[in-house]
Structure 1
Amino acid sequence: MKKSLLFLFASLVLISCKNQENETEFQFKKYDETAALEAQRNHKNGRMKFKLFQSKVLDMNEVYKPFQSELKKFSDEEYNNLKPLILEQDIPTLQRHVKDGTLSYEKLTIFYLYRIRKFESDSTLSLNSIIALNPNVLKEAREKDANKSNVSEFSMYGMPVLLKDNINTKEMPTTAGALALQRNYSKSDAFIVEKLRANGALILGKVNLSEWAYFFCSGCPLGYSAIGGQTLNPYGRAEFETGGSSSGSGVAVAANFAVAAVGTETSGSITSPSSQNSVVGLKPTIGVLSRTGIVPISSTLDTPGPMTKNVIDNAIFMNAMRGFDQNDSKSKEIDEEYVQNGFRNSFKGKRIGVFKPLLTDSIYALNIEKMRKVGVEIVEITPPEISFNGFVTLLNIDMKYDLPKYLSENADKSLFIKNVKDVIEFNKKDSLLRAPYGQQLFEGIERDQTTIAELEVIKENLKTEANKYLQALESEDLDAILSINNYHSGIAAVSFHPTLTVPMGYKTSGEPISLTFVGKPFEERNLLELGYAFEQLTKARKMPKNYQ
């Protein structure tokens, strides 16, 4: 009898210790970053001479509290068994796994929660990509499982997605990475979030970004925010830039922390991080997707857009976000189906322009040659010299008026800040914490006295010049013009052309590089068709080796 009791006691102690190990194994702990920061001082890229890595305000243990009991039940063995079903799989494949019973929406969601915690709690692998998690997401996933019926393979139903943290959600604050917005609890979702929920998507959480969408400090690191700390690139932590401002969106998708993520772009903020993290990013024409409930820079140029691991998912994501928004003056009625039973894997009959000056890039030139060999008619373009004067002024004056409008109409009513000047004054009270790299661009907004009438002239001049640069789209009857990364994002932005970025390879250093398709306004479907054909031809994307 005594032996039985001793055995029982020992077993209980063992189980207790095992549970304690499970609880502490993935604890988020602050670490000494002195040596890492010292090493950064020698980085050849001035923007990557970091002042800090870790957030000084975010406690990820608090973020994970709502999931503690569920995660205790989820083992590393279950995680490893699910990896081949989930990692790098497109949405149609995931939906087929759910349909045949090998996966559920709940398992898919807890897999991502476990994976994020596994990597982000490891100081040698953490990417500082997550700012918040939806505390209700597992409950919502179980509801999706209980209510699923004839779910299309091309549906966002039950798919966990992440949002850039300048997009309003009811469950989580919307901070734009800024301490001034730390308690910005909006009463309603952004319009695109309402559409995502209506189409069955699961909002998994919020991701880090370049603070105030990188229109805040000058020459500062991409992917830094006072709330989230320094976002890092999974292909080279602290070695390669993350791109910005949708840094967390690109990083999280690349690391397989969700099915997909939403980014926002004013000029390059989707194309840049998509390129740097080897993911597919679409910056739609202004008006295709609503901006209501998104912290703005410019009502002239801002747009959200999908960031995914592949083109099919990008199109499915677009379908789930689109819709006419009467509260967005630029919103358009769009009847386009961005994916309908997939895409044709063909370049047949396509005429595509390439910029002659970019042909000196060996990876660009190699991919152009691959396309030429499968029948693409390549038209070489020598772009004209243009003037780009006034671009920063456009952003300054739009932000001066658009931020107060957002704060008045879409933000938490208890916020003490009402405009750019209030943010500047707030940050001055503790600049080491709130603005360690300065706030030069915000100060520039305050100084800029350009009138609305003068601004309209600037906008028109920029549009005219940019259209001149891309005139071959019309004059040569091109399906698209090919660029690299975000090289021509500003030009595409002010002339209202959509861009699609697709991975095309890696430099000898291992840094990702992407091909960017610049298309005609409102021809997103055509860009996605081209991007799909290119993706299938090259299959360039590879998972980051330390995140497999």
Structure 2
Amino acid sequence: MSANTWTIAAARDALRKGEISATDLTMSCLTAIDAGDALGAFVHKTPEIALEQARAADARIKAGDAPAMCGIPLGIKDLFCTKGVPSQAASNILRGFRPEYESTVTTKLFDAGAVMLGKLNMDEFAMGSSNETSCYGNAVNPWKVDGRTLTPGGSSGGSAAAVAADLCLAATGTDTGGSIRQPAAFTGIVGIKPTYGRVSRWGIVAFASSLDQAGPMTKSVRDAAIFLQAMSGHDPKDSTSADLPVPDFEAALTGDIRGKKIGLPREYRMDGMPAEIEKLWSDGAAMLKDAGAEIVDISLPHTKYALPAYYVIAPAEASSNLARYDGVRYGHRATLSAGDGITEMYEKTRAEGFGKEVQRRVMIGTYVLSAGFYDAYYNRARKVRALIKRDFEQVFAAGVDAILTPATPSAAFGLGEMSSADPIEMYLNDVFTVTVNLAGLPGVAVPVGLDKQGLPLGLQLIGRPWEEGALLNHAYVLERAAGFVAKPQKWW
């Protein structure tokens, strides 16, 4: 079994015992990455940096001073600024941008001895659910059916594809409306979006600042716990970062959920939900019940307003955040004609640099923030958001420990199948995930089974704020009960 297929936990133990060096482990991943170009997952490879970091990790392990992530080869989503390495957010407007600084998350990971293999594909500025809006081209799901090329989900599509195809041991992702959990479910891996404020957003290219959260995408729940611990912690550079101690998430994986209350929200039973998703959900509830949990029906009455509220708030914040990409300080600048002034430079640069989906969301966002419509749209959406948050607070106050829902409305769909004339079709992919971002809660996607075509399906668990340890323990029980070990057939 090649070392690139290992989990973080297995690699950590092998590194400690001297059964493999971080350099050999890294080489195993670099070889897999070069053989996996057809997946479009890695868009900027950094083998020199990786081998240098691996050698440093080997020295630390030898000296007996090695945190859990020391020597672990990772992929980094192209949204994280990495010093001296292209960080483009998969957009042409940031072509050529090499930051002079390191994001807080990557700083924490490198301080812990982790190894960066390269930067990963994603939807442009994290806007998308299928990784089809990237300036690098599509990322491709390693799972295939009848020769169809499938989406790995989005926006963290490159991260999901790389982890599922064993190009790296784990990857960073970001989640604004489901961008960690949906691709994790589509590719049969684990992805956790932590509580808003648990992980610093500093040095991560912003999409919607009140919703964005970074988190790990891994091959197992235990790996998610180990990785999340290394990413988490207070950061004075991020005003929304919580000044709370980071618990030992791995130690929370006791596998004991006896007496815990799991809520099933009736509003998540959508019209036209595929029978397979419905069955997966009830199977998941039965697994948790068998482990000693109590299953209760709950109501989250404002769920039906979540998607419209999200697609007002997120574009509004995006329109504000993306105003800084104007061709003046960094990134792409349009070639100007004689007589063009600063306004023409802004217009041409943004028209050339932003893709269609980003342009669409910037225009929606600018519209809902404009003088005549601010109250009708943006303020109303903020009120709805407060009601969605209150729904969850009331359920948790009534003693519910975690909430079980589907992660996605379907298995992975074919590339090109959803990018029809109607963008709303694509937005419906976020139906089960956006509530968690609007309420700032932690949510985790766990692979639980395969559909009739043989594609992975995942379930989502939603936890109480700041209780990622308890949430991961529920996910750990579900993972063990489901026993999901399927891997994609290698075709790349």
- The question of 1:189 aligning with 2:189 is answered no
- The question of 1:316 aligning with 2:226 is answered yes
Question: How much has 1:400 moved relative to structure 2?
Answer: 2.5
1:132–1:525 CA distance, 2 compared to 1 (3 A) = same
Cross-structure match for 2:419: none
Gaps of 5+ in 1: 1-81, 121-125, 216-220
Cross-structure match for 2:157: 247
1:161–1:438 CA distance, 2 compared to 1 (3 A) = closer
Question: How much has 1:294 moved relative to structure 2?
Answer: 1.1
Which protein is bigger by CA-based radius of gyration? 1
Question: How much has 1:352 moved relative to structure 2?
Answer: 0.3
Cross-structure match for 1:112: 29
1:547–1:311 CA distance, 2 compared to 1 (3 A) = farther
| One-letter amino acid of the counterpart of residue 142, structure 1 | R
CA distance in 2, matches of 1:422, 1:294: 26
The answer on whether the counterparts of 2:95 and 2:332 sit within 8 Å (CA) in structure 1 is: no
Cross-structure match for 1:488: 432
CA distance in 2, matches of 1:435, 1:456: 24
Question: How much has 1:86 moved relative to structure 2?
Answer: 4.3
Cross-structure match for 1:391: 310
Residue by residue over 1:57-80, the C-alpha shift from the partner in whole angstroms, topping out at 9 and shown as x without a partner, is xxxxxxxxxxxxxxxxxxxxxxxx
Residue by residue over 1:9-54, the C-alpha shift from the partner in whole angstroms, topping out at 9 and shown as x without a partner, is xxxxxxxxxxxxxxxxxxxxxxxxxxxxxxxxxxxxxxxxxxxxxx
- The question of 1:98 aligning with 2:12 is answered no
1:445–1:460 CA distance, 2 compared to 1 (3 A) = closer
CA distance in 1, matches of 2:233, 2:248: 13
**Any idea what SS the aligned residue of 2:217 has?**
strand
The answer on whether the counterparts of 1:336 and 1:525 sit within 8 Å (CA) in structure 2 is: no
CA distance in 2, matches of 1:513, 1:275: 6
- The question of 1:283 aligning with 2:205 is answered no
- State how many pairs are aligned: 448
**Any idea what SS the aligned residue of 1:230 has?**
coil
CA distance in 1, matches of 2:186, 2:105: 25
Cross-structure match for 2:463: 519
**Any idea what SS the aligned residue of 1:224 has?**
coil
Name whichever of 348-357 and 520-529 sits farther off: 348-357
CA distance in 1, matches of 2:343, 2:20: 47
Question: How much has 1:308 moved relative to structure 2?
Answer: 0.4
The answer on whether the counterparts of 1:260 and 1:306 sit within 8 Å (CA) in structure 2 is: yes
- The question of 1:133 aligning with 2:45 is answered yes
Task: Say which of 520, 523, 533 aligns to 2:477.
Answer: 533
1:307–1:338 CA distance, 2 compared to 1 (3 A) = farther
CA distance in 2, matches of 1:428, 1:402: 16
| One-letter amino acid of the counterpart of residue 53, structure 2 | E
Cross-structure match for 2:365: 445
**Any idea what SS the aligned residue of 2:36 has?**
helix
1:139–1:467 CA distance, 2 compared to 1 (3 A) = closer
Residue by residue over 1:263-321, the C-alpha shift from the partner in whole angstroms, topping out at 9 and shown as x without a partner, is 11111111111111111111111111111111111111111111101111111111111
**Any idea what SS the aligned residue of 2:476 has?**
helix
The answer on whether the counterparts of 2:316 and 2:362 sit within 8 Å (CA) in structure 1 is: no
Question: How much has 1:226 moved relative to structure 2?
Answer: 4.4
Question: How much has 1:199 moved relative to structure 2?
Answer: 1.1
Q: What is the root-mean-square deviation in Å for CA atoms of aligned residues? A: 3.0
- The question of 1:368 aligning with 2:281 is answered no
Question: How much has 1:397 moved relative to structure 2?
Answer: 2.5
1:468–1:322 CA distance, 2 compared to 1 (3 A) = closer
Task: Say which of 412, 415, 434 aligns to 2:331.
Answer: 415
The answer on whether the counterparts of 1:459 and 1:494 sit within 8 Å (CA) in structure 2 is: no
CA distance in 1, matches of 2:199, 2:29: 27
- The question of 1:262 aligning with 2:172 is answered yes
The answer on whether the counterparts of 1:295 and 1:403 sit within 8 Å (CA) in structure 2 is: no
The answer on whether the counterparts of 2:233 and 2:246 sit within 8 Å (CA) in structure 1 is: no
The answer on whether the counterparts of 2:225 and 2:250 sit within 8 Å (CA) in structure 1 is: no
Task: Say which of 124, 129, 133 aligns to 1:211.
Answer: 124
- The question of 1:379 aligning with 2:296 is answered yes
CA distance in 2, matches of 1:286, 1:420: 37
Task: Say which of 186, 189, 200 aligns to 2:113.
Answer: 200
Residue by residue over 1:453-511, the C-alpha shift from the partner in whole angstroms, topping out at 9 and shown as x without a partner, is 74873454132331354355324311111111144211111111110111111110122
| One-letter amino acid of the counterpart of residue 161, structure 1 | L
CA distance in 1, matches of 2:65, 2:347: 49
**Any idea what SS the aligned residue of 1:402 has?**
helix
**Any idea what SS the aligned residue of 2:228 has?**
helix
- The question of 1:159 aligning with 2:72 is answered yes
1:417–1:94 CA distance, 2 compared to 1 (3 A) = same
* Percent identity over paired residues: 26
CA distance in 1, matches of 2:133, 2:281: 32
Cross-structure match for 1:147: 60
- The question of 1:235 aligning with 2:143 is answered yes
Question: How much has 1:158 moved relative to structure 2?
Answer: 0.8
**Any idea what SS the aligned residue of 2:490 has?**
helix
CA distance in 1, matches of 2:364, 2:461: 33
CA distance in 1, matches of 2:381, 2:84: 37
| One-letter amino acid of the counterpart of residue 407, structure 2 | N
| One-letter amino acid of the counterpart of residue 185, structure 2 | S
1:547–1:255 CA distance, 2 compared to 1 (3 A) = farther
The answer on whether the counterparts of 1:234 and 1:544 sit within 8 Å (CA) in structure 2 is: yes
Cross-structure match for 1:292: 202
Name whichever of 107-116 and 535-544 sits farther off: 535-544
The answer on whether the counterparts of 1:169 and 1:193 sit within 8 Å (CA) in structure 2 is: yes
Question: How much has 1:423 moved relative to structure 2?
Answer: 7.6
Cross-structure match for 2:420: none
Gaps of 5+ in 2: 335-341, 409-430
Structure with higher RCO (Cα < 8 A, 6+ apart): 2
CA distance in 1, matches of 2:140, 2:450: 17
- The question of 1:343 aligning with 2:253 is answered yes
The answer on whether the counterparts of 1:195 and 1:323 sit within 8 Å (CA) in structure 2 is: no
Question: How much has 1:227 moved relative to structure 2?
Answer: 3.2
1:374–1:391 CA distance, 2 compared to 1 (3 A) = closer
